[in-house]
C-alpha cells in the first residue's frame, strides 16, 4: 500500500483537499481530537503519515513514504534526495531578508561585513550571502527570528514571509527576496522509477488536478 | 539592565516561580493572552526574553541575555559557549534509547550494526553509539520521533523521556538511559566574569533558593 507523508501546519488543509480530489481521504487528520499520526484512507488505497514539515522529506527519502507534500523552502534548505514532481501552487510564501524599519540598510549589500544574520534557514542564508560575496555570521535560531534585530543580536534576518504581518508587528521590513516558495509533491526516487503501486497513475491525476484553476 | 532568557514550554512555569522567589516577576509570560516576547519585571530590575528552549543558549552565548534557564539536554546537544552555574533541580527527564516493545533488542548492543536510530538529538545519539563502537545511521527528525520504529524507518530512537507515556502509547520501551537532565542556570561568560549588573548577587540568591527544599 502506498504511503503519503503530510506536513502538520499551514499546508495540511490544502494537502488533504488535493488528495481528496483524487479519491484519497485523509480528512481525519483535520479533526482536532485526532491523536493518530498514521491512518488508512477510507477507500483502503493508501496510508497517510502526519509529520512535522521538515520530517516529510526524511520519510520520503528513506522510502517509508512513497509520496510527500512539502514546501519548497524545506527542499531548498535540507536538499533531501527525493524526486521533485509537481508544483502544487498553494502555500505561497517567500524567503526574505528583513531588517529593522528604522535601520539605514536598504539592500543586503548595505549590511556591514561580518555582521550577524539570524535565521531558521541557515543553509539558505549562508548560500545567499556567499553568492553576494558578503561575509556574515549566521546565527541559528529555532523560533521568533524577529527577536534577532529587536534585541540587537543580529542586523538582519532571513525568514519565510507570507502575509508580512509578523514583520510589521515587530517593526521590520523586507529588503530583498531570496526565492518564492509553494507546496511541492515529492516522491521516493526508487519507488517512482519502479512505479511502485502504480504511483505514476496517482501522480498524473494530481498533476491534472493542479492544472485545473479552481 | 540584566536580561534573562526564559524557555517556552515545560520549564517556563518553574523558571518564573524561581525568579519570583528572588524578586523578579515575569509572570506576565504565563498569561495566555500575552503576545510579548520581551517584558521588564515589575520592579524594573531586569528584562525577560521568552524564546524557544533551543534558542536560550544562543541569546546567552551572544550576550543578548546575561542569564538563561534551559534543560541540560539542550546544553549536551548544542554545546554552547556559556557558563554552567546551577542545577535548578526541576524539569527532570532522561535521554533514553527506546525500541519497539515487541522487538528482540534488550540492550543497545543488540542493535544491528549499520541499523538506524531516529532522533531530534543527533549529536547526543551519535556520541553515544560512537562510545559503544557501534556504527549506526542517525536519522534526524524534528518531531514525533516515536514514528521511526513504528513505520519501520529506524530500529531505535534516542529521545527525551519524562513520564514515559508517549513511549507506552506507541508500544515502545526504554532499553537504556544516556543521561539525566534537569533545568540549569547558565550565564554569558564575559558578563559573569565582569559581574555585570551585580550578576553574582542574583546568582547567589538563586543558588540559595534552589538549596531550600520546597
Distances (CA, A) of A75 to A61, A80, A132: 11, 6, 22
Mind listing the domains of chain A with CATH numbers?
A: 2-91+182-211 (3.40.190.10), 93-180 (3.40.190.10)
Rounded distance between C-alpha atoms, residue A149 and residue A158, angstroms: 11
Examine the pLDDT at A70 and tell me if it is beyond 80.
yes
| Interface contact flag, A144 B55, Cβ < 8 Å | yes
pLDDT at A214: 53
Interface test with B, best of A3, A49, A62 (most B CBs within 10 A): A62
Q: Cell numbers of A119, please?
A: 535565521
Rounded distance between C-alpha atoms, residue B77 and residue B58, angstroms: 13
B32 touches chain A (CB under 8 A): no
| Interface contact flag, A139 B59, Cβ < 8 Å | no
Q: Which residues contact B65 (CB under 8 A, 6 or more apart)?
A: B3, B4, B5, B49, B56, B59, B188
Q: What percent of chain B has pLDDT over 90?
A: 92
| Interface contact flag, A151 B52, Cβ < 8 Å | no
B29 touches chain A (CB under 8 A): no
User: What are phi and psi for residue B52, nearest 5 degrees?
Assistant: -60, 145
Largest CA distance in chain B: 58
B1 touches chain A (CB under 8 A): no
Closest by Cβ to A139, choosing from B52, B53, B62: B62
Taking only the tens place, the pLDDT of each residue in A144-186 is 999 999 999 999 999 999 999 999 999 999 999 999 999 999 9
Average pLDDT over residues A31-40: 90
Taking only the tens place, the pLDDT of each residue in B36-48 is 899 999 889 899 9
Strand B46-51 and strand A183-187: the pairing is unpaired
- What does the mean pLDDT of chain B come to? 95
Instruction: Give chain A positions within 8 Å (CB) of B55.
Output: 141-144
CA distance A147 to chain B (A): 8
pLDDT at A86: 96
How does residue B211 score in pLDDT terms, banded at 50, 70 and 90? confident
Instruction: Give rounded-to-5 percent helix, strand, coil for chain A.
Output: 35, 30, 35
Element (H, E) at A183: strand A183-187
Q: Where are the beta strands (DSSP E) in chain B?
A: 2-7, 38-40, 46-51, 67-71, 83-87, 93-100, 116-119, 137-140, 156-161, 172-181, 183-187
pLDDT at A4: 98
CA distance A54 to chain B (A): 7
CA distance A82 to chain B (A): 15
B102 touches chain A (CB under 8 A): no
DSSP state of A8: S
Taking only the tens place, the pLDDT of each residue in B60-117 is 999 999 999 999 999 999 999 999 999 999 999 999 999 999 999 999 999 999 999 9
CA distance A153 to chain B (A): 6
Instruction: Give chain A positions within 8 Å (CB) of B153.
Output: 58-59, 62, 64
Burial class (CB in 10 A: 0-12, 13-18, 19+), B209: middle
Taking only the tens place, the pLDDT of each residue in A201-211 is 999 999 999 87
Closest by Cβ to B51, choosing from A58, A147, A152: A147
DSSP state of B118: E
Question: Which residue in B has a C-alpha nearest to residue A151's C-alpha?
Answer: B64
User: What are phi and psi for residue A142, nearest 5 degrees?
Assistant: -110, -20
Residues A73-96: b if buried by 16+ CB within 10 A, e if exposed: bbbbbbebebbebbebebbebbbb
CA distance B130 to chain A (A): 23
Examine the pLDDT at B135 and tell me if it is beyond 60.
yes
| Interface contact flag, B62 A153, Cβ < 8 Å | yes
CB atoms within 10 A of CB B63: 16
| Interface contact flag, A58 B141, Cβ < 8 Å | yes
| Interface contact flag, A147 B58, Cβ < 8 Å | no
Amino acid at each position: 500500500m502506498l504511503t503519503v507523508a503530510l506536513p502538520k501546519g499551514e499546508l495540511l488543509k490544502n494537502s488533504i483537499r488535493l488528495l481528496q480530489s483524487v479519491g484519497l481521504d485523509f480528512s481525519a487528520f483535520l479533526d482536532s481530537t485526532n491523536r493518530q499520526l498514521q491512518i488508512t484512507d477510507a477507500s483502503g488505497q493508501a496510508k497517510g503519515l502526519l509529520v512535522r514539515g521538515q520530517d516529510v522529506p526524511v520519510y520520503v527519502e528513506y522510502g517509508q513514504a512513497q509520496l510527500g507534500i512539502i514546501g519548497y523552502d524545506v527542499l531548498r534548505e535540507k536538499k533531501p534526495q527525493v524526486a521533485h514532481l509537481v508544483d502544487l501552487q498553494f502555500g505561497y510564501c517567500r524567503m526574505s531578508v528583513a531588517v529593522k524599519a528604522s535601520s539605514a540598510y536598504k539592500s543586503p549589500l548595505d549590511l556591514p561585513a561580518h555582521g550577524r544574520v539570524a535565521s531558521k534557514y541557515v543553509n539558505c542564508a549562508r548560500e545567499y550571502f556567499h553568492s553576494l560575496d558578503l561575509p556574515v555570521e549566521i546565527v541559528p535560531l529555532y523560533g521568533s527570528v524577529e527577536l534577532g534585530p529587536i534585541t540587537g543580536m543580529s542586523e538582519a534576518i532571513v525568514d519565510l514571509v507570507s502575509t508580512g504581518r509578523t514583520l510589521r508587528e515587530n517593526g521590520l521590513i523586507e529588503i530583498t527576496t531570496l526565492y518564492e516558495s509553494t507546496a511541492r509533491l515529492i516522491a521516493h526516487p526508487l519507488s517512482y522509477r519502479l512505479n511502485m503501486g502504480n504511483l505514476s497513475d496517482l501522480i498524473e491525476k494530481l498533476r491534472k488536478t493542479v492544472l485545473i484553476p479552481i
